[in-house]
Amino acid sequence: MKALTNARVLSENGVRSGHTVVIHEGRIHQVAKNGKIGDKVTEHHDLDGQLLLPGFIDVQVNGGGGVLFNNAPTVETIRTIGASHRKFGTTGFLPTLISDEISVIEAAIAAANEALAAGVPGLLGIHLEGPFLNPVKRGAHDVSKFRALDDAAFEVLTKLKTGKTMVTIAPEMTEPKMIRRLVDAGVVVSAGHTNATYDEIRAAIDAGLSGFTHLFNAMSPLTSREPGVVGAALEDENTWSGMIVDGHHVSPVTMRIAIAAKSLDRFLLVTDAMPSVGWDGRQFELGGKHIEVVDGRCVSADGSLSGSHLDMASAVRNAIAMLNIDLLEAVYMASRNPAEFLGHGSQLGQIKPGYLANLVLVDDDLRVIDTWINGVSFSSH
């Protein structure tokens, strides 16, 4: 057993000063006041009174460390993305493949299978954002890659052997029975890049759709007579919505209205990060287009947003500043809520006995000092 001592531990009841977290075989064994941990601990690590938070979980991360999953759907790319985002507190992630050919999707799933088998730190599965989307709401996606969600596609989407497969679709481009088939096969289905009506989204939710990918962006808006995708997302109490809180994708006012309309525990922070995160470079290629980071925004030649230059630690800081919420609420949007969304709420996202020891240590400015995945520290990596 090893003990992380002298920490301010964030629990569901707030920050508890002068506490120790005991880790055994990759899981949290005990959370107790300093000096109350017994005599079986063989390692002690003094955290010097810093804040210990549950590790962040990012379900939408396209790249990092100079690599993009689409450009090289390999185990090494997944490993690089994980290592790059771990520096910013992300201890669980879904490498995200945006719309591409079926052969590339198959390669990405094969890479995720291999990486999961190899135990790549933090890897929880894969997110396939498209290509089953609506061209009207294409965003930065290549319309030429879009295709129907048919039986052949279903077979590909269900090839992940372990971990979670998340798929972003436009529900109006398929049928509720296909959504039900995917959900019954263990796939997490989310709506995004969609121009669906309220009724179409309701039918999708009834069929098992449980999420909304980057709420407000690339989806039909809430209007006076047609509630659209946004209206359906905010009305439904059981679905989750991802939000890119970078100050560029969505107005803070709009986000504050959203969390006033629906329980905060159904919102999760996502980065939609591109290769520039955790990398000194500021230019990269995305689907044949030149993308540049300008004033903290990833933009194409015509000025369109193309993913983000956001990391999870920054997203948490932004949520506190922009959404007028407290530390616990913002951190849970980055940890507990995405864990629940993925069905991992019983073992990830909180600092409690029995949970996996996925943790992040930060200073008072919420700058990351260290991370642990399954009890292993990465401060020296």
- Residue numbers annotated as active site: 272
Alpha helices in the chain (DSSP H): 75-86, 102-118, 151-157, 176-184, 198-206, 228-235, 252-261, 312-323, 327-334, 336-341
DSSP per-residue letters across 150-204 = -HHHHHHHT---SSEEEEEE-GGGS-HHHHHHHHHTT-EEEE-SB---HHHHHHH
Count the alpha carbons within 13 Å of 161 in the hemisphere toward its beta carbon.
9
CA distance 74 to 115: 8
Question: Dihedral angle at the C-alpha atoms of 2, 4, 10, 13, nearest 10 degrees?
Answer: 60
Q: Do the beta carbons of residue 239 and residue 265 sit within 8 Å? A: no
Place of tokens 């996925």: 358
Residue 1 corresponds to which tokens in the numbers above?
Answer: 């057993």
Residue 47 corresponds to which tokens in the numbers above?
Answer: 């955290």
CA distance 253 to 92: 29
